[in-house]
């Protein structure tokens, strides 16, 4: 799904190739953080990215909700089960200092990496990001597979909605788990797979007739300017500062 239109913000004007490189640099720097004192700078980075991305805060938070559920239980469990130095007592539960520090580090790095990835990747359409990966050296066959997969997920979703609407108009509800409903769902799934296979085969033959896979048929139209290089240098500088702080080469 493409992000909502929000004008040409700074991050949206940044060359997608440089954005992917900047994201890789930031992820590497965030993963090296091992001092809770560096977390404010780590978390400030995606906030700055969000400010210059042109994306609505609600849009970013809605995408963050589901990934966060994966680590919430771990972050709640660590302060109570890991460590030897008590920090606070909550009734029968004891919060340990070491576990709390580990939870802060894991949670901070998770938020920094996921927020940065969400903001950078959603500041350009998915197809543009895939083409930028191709421009960075990703094999063209993998790029085409990704683009076709993206397209067919949309087509399958449309076909599924159409078939379910037609079945509901004939009285099928699908709310009860029974043998009859399982047979209908199996028939629906098989029909979708057969239709997608026939459609994919036809598209592949048409692409081959038009020279698909021939040398020189793959190209991109990305053009980098001075602003793109400047933003990449700034990103590299921020990542370097975070790495130096994490390695305690100079005090926080």
Per-residue pLDDT at 175 exceeds 70:
no
List the chain domain ranges. Answer: 11-132+223-246, 139-209
Share of the chain above pLDDT 70, in %: 85
Residue 4: per-residue pLDDT: 42
Residue 129 makes CB contacts below 8 A (sequence gap 6+) with 16, 20, 121
Position 240 confidence tier, pLDDT thresholds 50, 70, 90: very high
Residue 201: per-residue pLDDT: 74
Burial class (CB in 10 A: 0-12, 13-18, 19+), 81: exposed
Residues 1-25: tens digit of each pLDDT = 444 444 578 888 888 889 999 999 9
Distances (CA, A) of 93 to 77, 97, 98, 232: 11, 13, 15, 47
Q: Is this structure's pTM higher than 0.85? A: no
Residue 250: per-residue pLDDT: 53
């Amino acid at each position: 799904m493409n992000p909502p239109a929000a004008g040409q913000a700074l991050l949206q004007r940044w060359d997608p190739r440089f954005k992917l490189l900047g994201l890789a640099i930031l992820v590497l720097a965030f993963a090296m953080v091992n001092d809770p004192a560096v977390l404010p700078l780590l978390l400030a980075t995606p906030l700055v990215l969000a400010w210059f991305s042109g994306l609505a805060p609600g849009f970013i938070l809605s995408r963050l909700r589901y990934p966060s559920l994966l680590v919430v239980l771990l972050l709640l469990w660590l302060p109570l089960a890991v460590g030897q130095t008590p920090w606070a007592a909550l009734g029968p539960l004891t919060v340990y200092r070491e576990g709390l520090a580990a939870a802060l580090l894991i949670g901070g790095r998770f938020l920094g990496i996921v927020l940065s990835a969400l903001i950078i990747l959603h500041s350009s359409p998915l197809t543009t990001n895939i083409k930028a990966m191709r421009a960075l050296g990703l094999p063209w066959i993998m790029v085409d597979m990704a683009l076709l997969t993206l397209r067919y997920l949309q087509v399958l979703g449309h076909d599924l909605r159409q078939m379910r609407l037609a079945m509901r108009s004939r009285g099928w509800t699908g709310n009860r788990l029974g043998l009859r409903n399982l047979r209908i769902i199996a028939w629906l799934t098989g029909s979708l797979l057969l239709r997608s296979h026939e459609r994919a085969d036809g598209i592949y033959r048409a692409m081959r007739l038009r020279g698909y896979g021939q040398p020189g048929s793959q190209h991109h139209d990305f053009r980098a300017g001075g602003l793109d290089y400047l933003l990449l240098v700034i990103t590299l500088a921020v990542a370097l500062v975070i790495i130096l702080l994490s390695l305690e080469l100079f005090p926080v």
